[in-house]
Structure 1
Amino acid sequence: MSPLTNPFSQQQQQPSSLKIPHTDPEIHSAIIHRLLFHLSQVKEGQPVIIVCIGTDRSTGDSLGPLVGTSLSRYNSHLFRIYGTLDDPIHAVNLQETITSIHELFHQPFIIGIDACLGQSASIGCIQVADGPLKPGAGVNKQLPPIGDIHLTGIVNVGGFMEYFVLQNTRLSLVMRLSEIIASSLYSAIKEWKSHSTYFALRE
């Protein structure tokens, strides 16, 4: 058996994003692996903030708050959550939330979560990508970008009558996507933190 090495010290070249159907049997491991790669960017002591964008007033746009609510049930000290069904982050309070985060936390590593619209063949896919989330782009809103990395769930087809499409998105799909994102994200952060702590103790 080879000696243990720190997986987060190996900056391997990987594609800039992952896109995978929610029906893929390997989806959890694929998302966790991708997130671990991105979490390698987090510096020691840097707070991890998860911002889940959306509203419970629209089925398709409820993905973010559903993820935030699921994550909040873990009561984890490993990250801070903004955006739940009870306290959603949306177009009206997004800028205020961003300002508050940067006032409260020093150099936070922010993970953005949101629903998005796409091509019909991509409905039900989950994406993990480097760089900021651009909320509101699918419904032609100009909102501030947020996130060092982001995850999105493609909940319906885009290109026409976006508000109507979001309102008529199947809740079962949104729930399934939110469950996958929340469980994978929690598992990835927990694994990353345990590895980081282990190798910090060895050094």
Structure 2
Amino acid sequence: MSFYEKSVDVSKPFSFIYFSSYFEEIFKIKYNDSYSDTVILCIGTDRSTGDCLGPLVGHKLKDLKLKNVHIFGSLDEPVHAKNLQLYIDKLKLYANPFVIAVDACLGKVDRIGFISIKDGPLSPGAGVNKKLPSVGHISITGIVNVSGFMEIAVLQNTRLSLVMNLANVISGGLRYSLWKYFGSNTSVAADLERKMDNRVNIINSGEP
């Protein structure tokens, strides 16, 4: 059972900042120097609009150049139900990888557009009644549509704009947070941190 869970509404202002803050909070709790590598496992398929959240996040992170940080899953090479076990086996090539799992999910109508960040593994396929291996030390899910009936059809009729907004917040937040942790001595990370500090100051001052 997760002892940590936070959620972010991507329709609200500063959702990127809140996501980054929550992710960093749990990452600092869970991650330590005993891990050899960090793997972002982006699960989903580009053949379904609602289920392409993971591949979109992977696509947006594919140019992330940080030592021992790896991206599994993208629009070009999606990680889905049929090959998930293959990628889980691939994790064994690393001595002790820390896995961040990303996937789309279905939920209550008033939770559509929320991102959930949890301690513990992700159970891919649960929303469409598929039994797949659980994976991840941290799980990140984006609620793309309503659950309860005709789940596969619902995923295929999800608005792309919503999925893109979710992917932008997740990929941007992960990029910034991991740069801070693993590459904070780079000029790019320093510039990002200055911009984030300015945004946080705006929030604290109550300005629009």
Q: Same fold (TM over 0.5)?
A: yes
**Contact 2:66 / 2:183 at 8 angstroms: preserved in 1?**
no
Secondary structure at the residue paired with 2:45?
Answer: coil
In structure 2, relative to structure 1, the CA distance for the partners of 1:64 and 1:87 (3 Å cut) is same
2: CA distance, partners of 1:171 / 1:23:
14
What's the secondary structure of 2:82's corresponding residue? coil
Q: In 2, distance between residues paired with 1:48 and 1:74?
A: 12
> 2:6 maps to which residue?
18
Unmatched tracts of structure 1, length 5 or more? 1-14, 197-203
Moved segments of 4+, more than 6 Å? none
| Backbone CA RMSD of aligned residues | 1.7
Q: Percent identity?
A: 45
Deviation at 1:29, TM superposition (A): 1.6
Distance 1:91 1:77 in 2: 29
Report how far residue 184 of structure 1 moved: 0.4
Q: Which residue is equivalent to 2:178?
A: 189
Partner of 1:93: 83
Unpaired segments ≥5 residues, structure 2 = 186-208
Counterpart of 1:21, as a letter, is: D
Other-structure match for 1:7: none
Tell me, what secondary structure is at the counterpart of 1:88? coil
Corresponding position: 1:69 with 2:64:
no
Question: Using the alignment, how far apart are the partners of 2:168 and 2:21 within structure 1?
Answer: 17
Q: TM-score, normalised by structure 1?
A: 0.85
* Per-residue deviation, residues 9-65 of structure 1 (Å, max 9, x unmatched): xxxxxx611112101213112111111122222222621100000000000000000
Map 1:63-142; keep pairs closer than 5 Å.
63-77=53-67, 79-102=69-92, 104-142=93-131
